[in-house]
Amino acid sequence: MLPLTRHGWREMLVGTVVLAGVAAALAWVTPWLALVVLPVWVWLIAFFRDPDRPLPADPHAIVSPADGRVSDITQLDNDPLLDGPAVRVGIFLSVFNVHINRAPCDGKVLSVTYRKGKFVNAMRHGPASEENESNTIVLGDAATGRPVAVVKQIVGLIARRIVCTVREGDVVQRGQRIGMIKFGSRTELCLPQRLSPRITVQIGQTVHGAADTVAVVQPEQSR
């Protein structure tokens, strides 16, 4: 049975009722026309799928926070949330991808910041990242409190709702579900250069949340 996220029950229920009504109307005209809505219903249900994922064996592997396509990899001179230089990996989620967001590493939630904004195309970094509605989650080392990763959930042209299931002070594990973005979006992952992140993905590559490694870091205590 296809595992589904609880965050989609409302949309699935409303969508099923609406599509059933459309199918009934079409069937009244010509019975076989009712089948036209079936692919739409299957897509709606599949959109909210929430598969379990195996984690990489390497404990220093940073996993992808989302399913999708790597759209950009950018070196940042300074990320104020990470206290210095960082690298950002942008992932675009189409309407056919799993939309569950995952924690890229173990850590403690230092802050969660929601920002209202626009709904422009989220395929590339630029206006979407800076102007769109977003939710930024900062993860820190549970022992030292220093920030180790930033996950930014960004709505897109179609996406209109961000779900975040963690709060400041929560302790999360790598690969743990931390929310979702509904109906197409962008997720960004930023890592501090002080951890010497070695990016293991390329622009255009397809990644799967929790299962795929996007970077390997060098823990501060081992350097």
Q: Which residues belong to the active site?
A: 185
Phi, psi of 174 (to 5 degrees): -55, 130
| Residue indicated by tokens 């990470």 | 82
CA angle 182, 11, 104 (to 5 degrees): 30
Q: How far apart are CA 3 and CA 50, in angstroms?
A: 5
| 3-class SS of residue 205 | coil
The 185-192 sheet, strands edge to edge: 171-172, 107-115, 134-140, 147-155, 185-192, 84-93, 68-79, 206-207
Taking the CA atoms of the chain, what radius of gyration do you get in angstroms? 19
Residue 125: CB atoms within 10 A of its CB come to 18
